[in-house]
Structure 1
């Protein structure tokens, strides 16, 4: 029996060694390689179509200079979706519930967009720190606020992904425990609770995909400001 509800988010260990890297590498085996034949199977065709739709929608607001990021953003989204969905299976671990890992993804990518902006168009990038038409007395205050807002972006990315997945997992665990407790005593209430559990699980599947898309979408918006 678990000591705490949050024990499910602790990284599994074997002989004192954290196994989170195995959970990170597992999604790679679920993506098939291209085959040496003229016609692909249905799974590869569907996967290619979905990736093309995602790339077209994500790259449409960006100019030509941002299109070189398409491969990185697509790979990141597939990686996050795979880990989020695999974490919903029983006896599995969700690496994206770890704030340290999410920040490890968010901070370098956010910093890369800032560096690109400072390198290619430093004047326009610095102009984001001071809105046009600001009164003279408010200029120092607004620069400080905008600078803090800029540095809070990677933290917001990591916390958003962590909080949404953690909350969903906790709700599923709480309601599943209620189903086991209520079913022997009140079968009707237990059945209704099980129905809520199924609906919540479907919602969590949608959240797992949406949060991966939102993570990449916000990164693309940050890139759009700097190219």
Structure 2
């Protein structure tokens, strides 16, 4: 029996091992189709998606950073597969936990900061004071910009985890009330859950794109 509502997202298993985290690697099963001799429709669609993402990331990062878009396209792919797989029954959603999202956001932000402060120190210092700031407000602007820079990995991680767990919680709440309602209300609940599942499919793509595009913007600030 559940001790609380969030225990339905507990990754523990009966083998005293967190085997549910293995669902993170299910996205690898979609990769071998790219090695077929004759490309499938899925492969052609995904090629168009990656080319579109490459063009968008290249504009944000500038033409000087050739090859860097591959990292962010891979990040988008990894997140989207995990978000989508979490919508299927009995598959653990790893991106709904801060352990997963913070483990991706924090090292990436830290690498950007280390690279920027060691290689472009003056550029990073100039970012702390926006252009046209009065001299009396400069100390406050430095403090505000420093705080906003430090909380970036936290906002990236919490945004993804909160958006993924919110829809799952709502679906769980609506599903738990199905045993004690009339048939008419049950049909309304089923219709609402189908609509909510459609919305969650869109959220899975949007949150992956937002995470990747914000990471691209943060990296473009240090170069």
TM-score relative to the length of structure 1: 0.91
1:64-118 per-position Cα deviation (integer Å, ceiling 9, x unaligned): 2333321111111110011111111111111111112111100111122223322
> Aligned equivalents of 1:36 and 1:27: distance in 2?
17
**Larger displacement relative to structure 2 (171-180 or 79-88):** 171-180
Distance 1:136 1:35, change over 3 A: closer
Q: Which residue, out of 182, 187, 192, partners 2:188? A: 192
> Aligned equivalents of 1:54 and 1:13: distance in 2?
37
Q: Report if the CA contact (8 A) 2:21-2:92 is conserved.
A: no
2:11 pairs with 1:15: no
2:197 pairs with 1:205: no
Unmatched segments (≥5 aa) in structure 2: none
Q: Which residue of 2 aligns with 1:163?
A: 162
1:27-83 per-position Cα deviation (integer Å, ceiling 9, x unaligned): 11222243363x312221122112111221222222123333211111111100111
1:140-171 per-position Cα deviation (integer Å, ceiling 9, x unaligned): 22211111110000000000001111111000
* Structure 1 residue matching 2:222: 3-state secondary structure: coil
Q: Which residue of 1 aligns with 2:109?
A: 110
Q: Which residue of 1 aligns with 2:50?
A: 51
Q: Which residue of 2 aligns with 1:31?
A: 31
**Larger displacement relative to structure 2 (77-86 or 6-15):** 6-15
**Structure 1 stretches of at least 4 aligned residues deviating more than 6 Å after TM superposition:** none
> Aligned equivalents of 2:177 and 2:15: distance in 1?
34
Unmatched segments (≥5 aa) in structure 1: none
Distance 1:93 1:180, change over 3 A: same
Q: Report if the CA contact (8 A) 1:161-1:215 is conserved.
A: yes
| Equivalenced residues, count | 223
> Aligned equivalents of 1:13 and 1:108: distance in 2?
28
